[in-house]
Amino acid sequence: MQRPEAWPRPHPGEGAAAAPAGGPAPPARGREPAGLRLQEPSLYTIKAVFILDNDGHRLLAKYYDDTFPSMKEQMAFEKNVFNKTSRTDSEIAFFGGMTIVYKSSIDLFLYVVGSSYENELMLMSVLTCLFESLNHVLRKNVEKRWLLENMDGAFLVLDEIVDGGFFSLPRNKLNGRY
């Protein structure tokens, strides 16, 4: 049992029940604040993946939930994200209650979008996997011209990496390890 001086002290304004006059009070077991609740774990970590050109125009996009249900809302979101990230050197942004990781390559911007409570390292691993896979498919020419010529391969890469919002780690077929 803890000593009374180790118990948390009540903050001013918590009411008379917090500190009775007869002696030390045991720690209160109240409800936790609503803002501190942990989110339920989910395997569906990716909200969207999109690739834009130097002018902010969509080349490839895939949305995995109903955050932006219409094409008009998606395009507006992409334009806002591009305007915020195109002139910075960082790799991560928080925009509209979402975590966005991004990378630029010659004349392309690659984006991976997750919720605000999503682990940035997980999102960055998806982005890295996407970039390295495109780099391999496009024979080290990750630029707009080659992406447009090999769009079917780009969609195949994206579908293999992200399965309905769930990041599926690529498997090494030779030895069955991740």
pLDDT at 173: 40
Lowest mean pLDDT among 48-62, 90-104, 131-145: 131-145
pLDDT for the residue numbered 18: 47
In this prediction, residues 108-116 reach a mean pLDDT of 91
Residue 78 has a pLDDT of: 93
pLDDT of residue 161: 83
Q: 166 pLDDT exceeds 50?
A: yes
E strands of 28-87, at which residues? 48-53, 58-63
- Give the model's pLDDT for residue 42: 58
Report pLDDT for 150.
87
Quick one: angle between helices 151-161 and 120-137, nearest 10? 150
Q: Give Cβ neighbours of residue 94 (< 8 Å, ≥ 6 apart).
A: 100, 116
pLDDT in tens, 46-86: 899 999 999 999 999 999 888 898 999 999 999 999 999 88
For 46-167, the fitting CATH number among 3.40.50.261, 3.30.43.10, 3.40.228.10, 3.30.450.60 is: 3.30.450.60
pLDDT of residue 7: 47
pLDDT given for residue 57 in this prediction: 93
The confidence score (pLDDT) of residue 25 equals 53
Q: Count other Cβ atoms within 10 Å, centred on residue 79.
A: 14
Report the alpha-carbon distance of residue 90 to residue 86 in Å, rounded.
10
- 2-54 pLDDT, tens per residue? 444 544 555 454 444 444 555 555 555 555 555 555 556 555 678 999 999 99
Nearest to 165 by CA among 66, 91, 52: 66
Based on its alpha-carbon atoms, the radius of gyration of the chain, rounded to whole angstroms, reads 24
Report pLDDT for 61: 92
